[in-house]
Amino acid sequence: MNKSLKKLKKIEKTIQLLSPPNPSDFVGGKNSAAYKTALTNWKNPANYPKGGPLPLLRSQGYKPNIQKELDKALLEKNRLRLSNNEWNWLSQEHGTGIILLEDGERSLGSKGDAIITSSLGKVISVTVADCMPVLLMSESGTFALIHLGWRGILNGLLNLTIESMKKISHGEITSVLGPCIKSCCYEFGKMEIGRFCEKFGEEAEASTSDGRSSINLKYCVKKGLEKESIKIEHDEAVCTKCDPRHWSFREDSTKKRQVMIAFKQT
């Protein structure tokens, strides 16, 4: 084992220890001040007493590409923690590309914002930090994940994905809605709001908690599902910016993401 690989292993071990605080360990749970402070500290590597990943790397004179390797190793570990089946993911681009995976096919970052499969054991995934992840499941066993941001919603990605699914499946389609930024925090310009109202009606416009015009993304998605008579099995109704358990791009321009995954168990 060469020297830098040894160092990498050592730092990987340190990172492994840095797991997020658990709300149930705090009196008052997730709303307690102590938990919120612990979470803020956990999110900021500079606050680790031993030196978090970044300060540690800097003090040992590592070059940035080592950080990339570490990020990759951490990502792989996080994936395995959720499922050790074959992972498939997208290079999301706020477009309307849909990736359809047959048995034996993989997506290791294909460009697109929706992914569909009927294969057993295949893990499909989308990542988000304020946009909405949506799962669609058909009675005949085809399932899809969609990354729905404001552009995707306006450009009809939800409908396009439903159409693609219907071509290869039959029976009722149901859905699960993941967490996204809500109207309390999703301030928008009048022009875009106008486009949403045109497409989804006046209720697409809402206001933020401090009284500015905002978009109600979830309302628009629900409206789209309703049109197709798609039942919502579960709606994770939190706001990613208000809820400290979630990454939010609007909050701090983070590069970190939530992931929504789906697979059929073997």
Provide the binding-site residues for Zn ion, judged by CB under 5 A.
Answer: 182, 184-185, 239, 241-242
Name which of 161 and 183 has its Cβ closer to Zn ion. Answer: 183
Phi-psi region of 123 (alpha: psi -120 to 50; beta: other; left: phi over 0): beta
3-class SS of residue 50: coil
Tokens standing for residue 29: 């749970």
Question: How long a stretch of residues is the chain?
Answer: 266
CB of 185 to Zn ion, least distance (A): 3
Of 156, 182, 165, 187, nearest to 236 by C-alpha is: 182
Name which of 218 and 241 has its Cβ closer to Zn ion. Answer: 241
Cα separation, 7 vs 122, in Å, equals 34
Name which of 137 and 239 has its Cβ closer to Zn ion. Answer: 239
CB of 237 to Zn ion, least distance (A): 11
Determine the residue type at 111: K
Of 226, 232, 16, 241, nearest to 131 by C-alpha is: 241
Closest CB to Zn ion belongs to which residue? 239
CA dihedral for 65, 71, 74, 78, sign (positive or negative): negative
Tell me if 83 sits within 8 A of 18, measured CB to CB.
Answer: no
Question: 71: how many CB neighbours lie within 10 A of its CB?
Answer: 13
Tokens standing for residue 86: 């074959």
CB of 167 to Zn ion, least distance (A): 37
Name which of 129 and 185 has its Cβ closer to Zn ion. Answer: 185
CB of 239 to Zn ion, least distance (A): 3
Name which of 117 and 214 has its Cβ closer to Zn ion. Answer: 214
Q: What is the Cα 124 distance to its own chain's centre?
A: 12
Name which of 11 and 185 has its Cβ closer to Zn ion. Answer: 185
Name which of 185 and 230 has its Cβ closer to Zn ion. Answer: 185
3-class SS of residue 98: strand
